[in-house]
Structure 1
Amino acid sequence: MSTGTTKYAVLPTRFGHRPVTTATTPHVQLDQYAPRPLQNELWSLMVGLRGVTSGRSGISFPQTRALHLDPQIARGPEDAFMSGTEFAHLHGDGSGSLHVALPPARAAEAIRTGWAEEHPVVTMGLGPETWVMLYGPRNDTGLGVVWQLVQDSHAFACG
């Protein structure tokens, strides 16, 4: 696994309490849904990332929209991906939450600052510590932070 020396912008602490989520799979956010316009804006940004093709997720519900990285540039470690070259997906349940793979230190920071939580497969010892759920953004500040974390996930997948 790559330890990397990438410098990241420091994440602000998320305001308010964490959303309620399920503790098992399927892992879903149950409250504090992101407004639909913010979800649409985030998705528009996500599909504009270099080398990305959108499609169905290999590990989530059919309505989930996934980002698949072109195999030619998918040079990240194995734990930068959730299925094949899928490194992130936006849930189709209306919550605006996402699952992404982040470098371990960045995943820990996102959790510590309140923007994310470990995927249940991590807590069960069945998946890498890189897999997290990002909570749906509630406002423009949240959109900026979540977008930054998606870009970090993309960079991790690119190697």
Structure 2
Amino acid sequence: MFELPVRPGPEPRTRGPIPHGQLNQISPTTMQEELWQRMRSLPGVYLAPTHVPYPEARAIHLAPEFGTGPEDAFIKRSREFAHLHPQQDGSLHMTLPQLVKKEVTEAGWGIPHPIQNTQLVYGPRDREEMETVWKILLESYAYARGKSTQV
């Protein structure tokens, strides 16, 4: 079973549905960049524009031979499964299995997108939060690869 610690403090303010993002408690730029480097280094990942109306977002896509997950493991029937919002926001959207979405929401790490199949995950504010956000992102990656045990 996928479990997360409860995110400390109040949840950040958000906006949306389009664009959907985080308004305060912004992740430090250095953490955003570290997270981006981790995201883009996953095996089978390639970089391409996002398929959502937030052109400044940096998206990761999964090559077909790596991505054998269900249709809803990808954003808008593309190969994209996650993207990182611009520095003034620092949150992410990603696809996740339903049980993981529920845990992310209940533990206070994010909220479902109001009109898409993605989950908004709040940007990490410190090193400990970085590891939790990375754990969530790895679930998105496993889901897109067809290897999630949380479905």
Separation in 2, partners of 1:102, 1:142: 18
Q: Does 1:63 align with 2:56?
A: yes
Where has structure 1 moved over 2 Å in runs of 4 or more?
none
Q: Does 1:154 align with 2:141?
A: yes
Equivalenced residues, count:
145
Runs (5+) with no aligned partner, structure 1: 1-6, 122-126
Separation in 2, partners of 1:82, 1:150: 14
Equivalent residue runs for 1:10-159 within 5 Å: 10-83=3-76, 84-121=78-115, 127-128=116-117, 131-159=118-146
CA apart distance, 1:146: 0.5
Separation in 2, partners of 1:41, 1:88: 15
Runs (5+) with no aligned partner, structure 2: 147-151
Give the TM-score of the pair, scaled to structure 1.
Answer: 0.87
Using the TM superposition, name which of 139-148 and 58-67 deviates more. Answer: 58-67
The one-letter code sitting in structure 2 at the alignment partner of 1:86 is: E
CA apart distance, 1:93: 4.6
CA apart distance, 1:24: 2.1
Question: CA-atom RMSD, angstroms?
Answer: 1.2
Give the TM-score of the pair, scaled to structure 2.
Answer: 0.91
